[in-house]
């Protein structure tokens, strides 16, 4: 067992700040890194120390530069590196470089990053664990193999990049005529985004909900779930609004949570991870992928369970058992949920202009607040500059109440309370979502946004 004195946060924005807060509460000192573009970014000032890593590198590349991150960690005598989400969070190379440098990578083992960074391998693991997977190919396919598979299961089908993520490298194909061109596009998108052109093919699941299960596992063989989130409100396969727990019937919820635990126990998973499923209207569900890291939407699980996931990640990485006093999870039965939490991702995107990212200086930033509202922001303040280089996430607003309807009303109230000027945001769109009858009925599928163009006005 180690006790971390200092942790390097290899990220920026809200998640870097979130991690610093978790460390500070645990009495661990924090080291931030920043680029030229981020020299005024808040994450720099929320850490105990901050170092410039941009020398000769681009705004994004600097955060991906493993040697410079390791060098800063060593020079500042950090015990561990927390990668957050995005950037190097799923990087085997970073985990390996940490190991070689004697620094703890706060995340799963290297083998899990390998297993789940490759969606085809992940499907094999799920299958071996007895968890249902979307009918699909066992490995990467050629154009001809893709065509043969599609003819066998019937269109539509989904072409997916083996190393895909963030909704990229994915193509819905309706017919044989579209297949070859879609294949080329998916493959070249995969090559440029992930450096690997391989694609595989899955049957297209009709009108699903996206349901995912939060998992925590320790290094001593104990693993639990922290219930599920409904992340069906998506745009271009990316999540926009998330709800925890879902409004599923109890037997379906239990079956999905148990399947997630079964898979992750089979994999011997360690630390925080999420198992994602597509749920059909008939109650059948299929595994799609595992995200071996903390996720953007972890906040709502924290609100309903009372468990600080980032602190649990740190304690697990130190070698603590889930059931020791530092983490305090005494078996699955000790985890209960209370109420409902909803998260909205407020972005600097203009819903009336195809969600085009907006940039510039925030001239007014008046935040929502009040009972049951949690805010996680990177650079939400008057005078901040929204830069074109990074993700357009401005602030995550999470609302917690005793039931879903109250949480939705609280969210609407909070969204109304924001005053953000100088850059466009998606707040008017989000306010429409959380008041929509279909949303309030808990019935949204992943098609909700595309089926309701009135949400944009």
Q: How far is the CB of 251 from ligand ADP (least distance, A)?
A: 22
Choice from 10, 288, 414, 449 touching ligand ADP (CB under 6 A): 288
**Count residues contacting ligand ADP (CB under 6 A)?**
20
Q: How far is the CB of 276 from ligand ADP (least distance, A)?
A: 5
Residues marked active site are found at: 293
Residue 165: strand, helix, or coil:
strand
In angstroms, the CA 103 to CA 341 distance is 35
Are 264 and 270 a contacting pair, CB within 8 Å?
no
**Alpha carbon distance, N-terminus to C-terminus of the chain:** 55
Q: How far is the CB of 168 from ligand ADP (least distance, A)?
A: 6
| Closer of 34 and 287 to ligand ADP (Cβ) | 287
The reply on whether position 120 binds ligand ADP by CB under 6 A is no
The reply on whether position 54 binds ligand ADP by CB under 6 A is no
Burial (0-12, 13-18, 19+ Cβ within 10 Å), 127: middle
Which residues, at least 6 apart from 284, have a Cβ–Cβ distance to it below 8 Å?
132
| Binding positions for ligand ADP, 217-256, rule CB under 6 A | 234, 237
| Closer of 54 and 86 to ligand ADP (Cβ) | 86
202 carries a ligand binding annotation: yes
Token code pair at residue 404: 């879903």
| Closer of 96 and 237 to ligand ADP (Cβ) | 237
Choice from 38, 230, 289, 318 touching ligand ADP (CB under 6 A): 289
Are 69 and 10 a contacting pair, CB within 8 Å?
yes
The reply on whether position 210 binds ligand ADP by CB under 6 A is yes
Phi and psi of 241, rounded to 5°? -130, 135
Q: How far is the CB of 425 from ligand ADP (least distance, A)?
A: 23
| Binding positions for ligand ADP, 154-183, rule CB under 6 A | 158, 164-168, 170
Pick from 115, 191, 186: nearest CA to 146 = 186
Helix (H) / strand (E) containing 276: strand 271-279
Site track 394-433 with ligand ADP (rule: CB under 6 A), x = hit? ----------------------------------------
Are 56 and 67 a contacting pair, CB within 8 Å?
no
The reply on whether position 276 binds ligand ADP by CB under 6 A is yes
In angstroms, the CA 288 to CA 291 distance is 10
Show binding-site residues.
119, 202, 237
Show binding-site residues for ATP.
119, 202, 237
């Amino acid at each position: 067992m180690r006790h971390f004195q200092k942790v390097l946060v290899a990220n920026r924005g809200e998640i870097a700040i979130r991690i610093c807060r978790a460390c500070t509460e645990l009495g661990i000192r924090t080291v931030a890194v920043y680029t030229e573009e981020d020299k005024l970014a808040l994450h720099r000032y929320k850490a105990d120390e901050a170092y410039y890593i941009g020398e000769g590198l681009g705004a994004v590349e600097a955060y991906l530069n493993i040697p410079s991150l390791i060098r800063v960690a060593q020079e500042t005598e950090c015990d561990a590196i927390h990668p957050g989400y995005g950037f190097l969070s799923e990087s085997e190379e970073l985990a390996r470089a940490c190991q070689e440098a004697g620094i703890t990578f706060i995340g799963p083992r290297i083998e899990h990053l390998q297993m789940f960074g490759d969606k085809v391998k992940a499907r094999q693991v799920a299958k071996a664990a007895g968890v249902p997977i979307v009918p699909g190919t066992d490995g990467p396919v050629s154009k001809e193999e893709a065509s043969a598979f599609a003819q066998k299961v019937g269109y539509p089908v989904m072409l997916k990049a083996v190393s895909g993520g963030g909704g990229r490298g994915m193509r819905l194909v309706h017919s044989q005529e579209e297949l070859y061109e879609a294949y080329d596009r998916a493959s070249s998108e995969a090559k440029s985004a992930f450096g690997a052109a391989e694609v595989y093919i899955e049957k297209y699941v009709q009108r699903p909900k996206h349901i995912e299960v939060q998992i925590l596992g320790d290094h001593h063989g104990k693993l639990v779930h922290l219930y599920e989130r409904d992340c069906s409100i998506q745009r271009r396969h990316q999540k926009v609004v998330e709800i925890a727990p879902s409004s599923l019937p109890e037997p379906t919820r239990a079956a999905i949570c148990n399947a997630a635990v079964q898979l992750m126990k089979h994999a011997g998973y360690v630390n925080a991870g999420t198992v994602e499923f597509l749920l059909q209207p008939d109650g059948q569900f299929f595994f799609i992928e595992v995200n071996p890291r903390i996720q953007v939407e972890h906040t709502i699980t924290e609100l309903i369970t009372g468990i600080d996931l980032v602190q649990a990640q740190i304690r697990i990485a130190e070698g603590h058992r889930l059931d020791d006093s530092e983490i305090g999870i005494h078996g699955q039965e000790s985890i209960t949920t209370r109420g409902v939490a909803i998260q909205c991702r407020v972005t600097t995107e203009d819903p009336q202009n195809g969600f085009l990212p907006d940039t510039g200086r925030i001239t007014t930033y008046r935040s929502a607040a009040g009972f049951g509202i949690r805010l996680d922001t990177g650079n939400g303040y008057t005078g901040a500059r929204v830069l074109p280089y990074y993700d357009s996430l401005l602030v995550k607003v999470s609302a917690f109440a005793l039931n879903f309807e109250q949480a939705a009303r609280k969210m609407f109230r909070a969204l109304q309370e924001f005053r953000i000027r100088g850059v466009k945001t998606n707040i008017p769109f989000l306010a429409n979502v959380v008041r929509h009858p279909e949303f309030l009925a808990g019935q949204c599928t992943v098609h909700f946004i595309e089926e309701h163009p009135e949400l944009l006005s």
